[in-house]
């Protein structure tokens, strides 16, 4: 962890970071001191895409979920630098956090970019995007809410497509295939690494049925 990240954690974690053990479900309207549509990024890494989202959608209340402390520090530093007030963090495992801290139908948009960087077959059972997690995510989305994902592993893209197509409460915005990169999706650190290695990118976008 850099000194800047650790200073940011010291200065702001108590105000802007909620532990996964907090009392749930959280009343997000009162936590943000305003009523606004809720957006969630799961596994934000160093936070570039989430900070850009906060800048491009000032009318949303945004929550980043991750377990990676240096990344949380980097996000808090970026939040302070850019003077963003409508962004909070939950530190914890997204599976527990979504289950405990978010009510059914409470999220307008959820994003997961470049999860699980393990291409080996023996790691596949650990994948975050699986049937149970997609069911939970879909339950937490508002009717008409959106789930966006991206990966730079083709076999993970095929796997995600299969899992998402099998979830009856979600419909693919691009027929039965992949979406392109949407306007406003920043290149993340992990994606840039994939580009240097010559990886492709696969985006997916689903809408929660009413």
Ligand X SMILES: C[S@@+](CC[C@H](N)C(=O)[O-])C[C@H]1O[C@@H](n2cnc3c(N)ncnc32)[C@H](O)[C@@H]1O
Give the residue numbers annotated as catalytic, written as ranges.
116
Identify residues 90-109 at the interface with ligand X (CB under 6 A).
93-95
Alpha-carbon gap, residue 124 to 118, rounded angstroms = 8
Residue number, 19 or 144, with CB nearest to ligand X: 19
71 sits near ligand X (criterion: CB under 6 A): yes
Q: Which of 73, 78, 115, 145 binds ligand X (CB under 6 A)?
A: 115
Residue number, 34 or 193, with CB nearest to ligand X: 193
73 sits near ligand X (criterion: CB under 6 A): no
What is the distance of C-alpha 116 from the center of its chain?
Answer: 13
Cis peptide before 128 (omega within 30 of 0): no
Of 5-13, 24-32, 67-75, 154-162, which part binds ligand X (CB under 6 A)? 67-75
Alpha-carbon gap, residue 138 to 145, rounded angstroms = 9
Identify residues 178-207 at the interface with ligand X (CB under 6 A).
188-191
Q: Are 106 and 140 in contact (CB under 8 A)?
A: yes
Structure token pair of residue 63: 């929550």
Q: Phi and psi for 202 in degrees, rounded to 5?
A: -125, 120
Alpha-carbon gap, residue 95 to 84, rounded angstroms = 26
Q: CA end-to-end span of the chain, whole Å?
A: 43
Residue number, 89 or 164, with CB nearest to ligand X: 89
Identify residues 6-65 at the interface with ligand X (CB under 6 A).
42-45, 65
Size of the site for ligand X (CB under 6 A): 21
| Chain residues that interact with ligand X, rule: CB under 6 A | 42-45, 65-68, 71, 93-95, 113-115, 117, 128, 188-191
């Amino acid at each position: 962890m850099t000194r800047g990240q650790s200073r940011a954690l010291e200065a702001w974690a108590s105000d802007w970071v909620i532990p996964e053990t907090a009392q749930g479900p959280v009343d997000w309207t009162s936590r943000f001191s305003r009523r606004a549509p809720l957006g969630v990024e799961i596994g934000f890494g160093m936070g570039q895409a989430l900070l850009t989202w906060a800048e491009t959608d000032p009318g949303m209340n945004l929550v980043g979920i991750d377990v990676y402390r240096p990344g949380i520090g980097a996000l808090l530093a970026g939040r302070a630098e850019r003077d963003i007030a409508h962004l909070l963090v939950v530190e914890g495992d997204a599976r527990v956090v979504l289950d405990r801290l978010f009510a059914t139908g409470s999220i307008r948009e959820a994003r997961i970019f470049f999860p699980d960087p393990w291409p080996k077959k023996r790691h596949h059972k650990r994948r975050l995007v699986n049937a149970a997690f997609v069911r939970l995510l879909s339950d937490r989305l508002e009717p008409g809410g959106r789930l966006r994902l991206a990966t730079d592993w083709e076999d993970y893209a095929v796997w995600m497509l299969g899992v998402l197509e099998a979830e009856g409460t979600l419909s693919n915005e691009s027929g039965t295939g992949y979406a392109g990169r949407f306007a406003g999706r920043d290149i993340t650190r992990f994606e840039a690494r994939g580009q240097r290695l010559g990886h492709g990118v696969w985006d997916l976008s689903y809408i929660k049925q009413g």
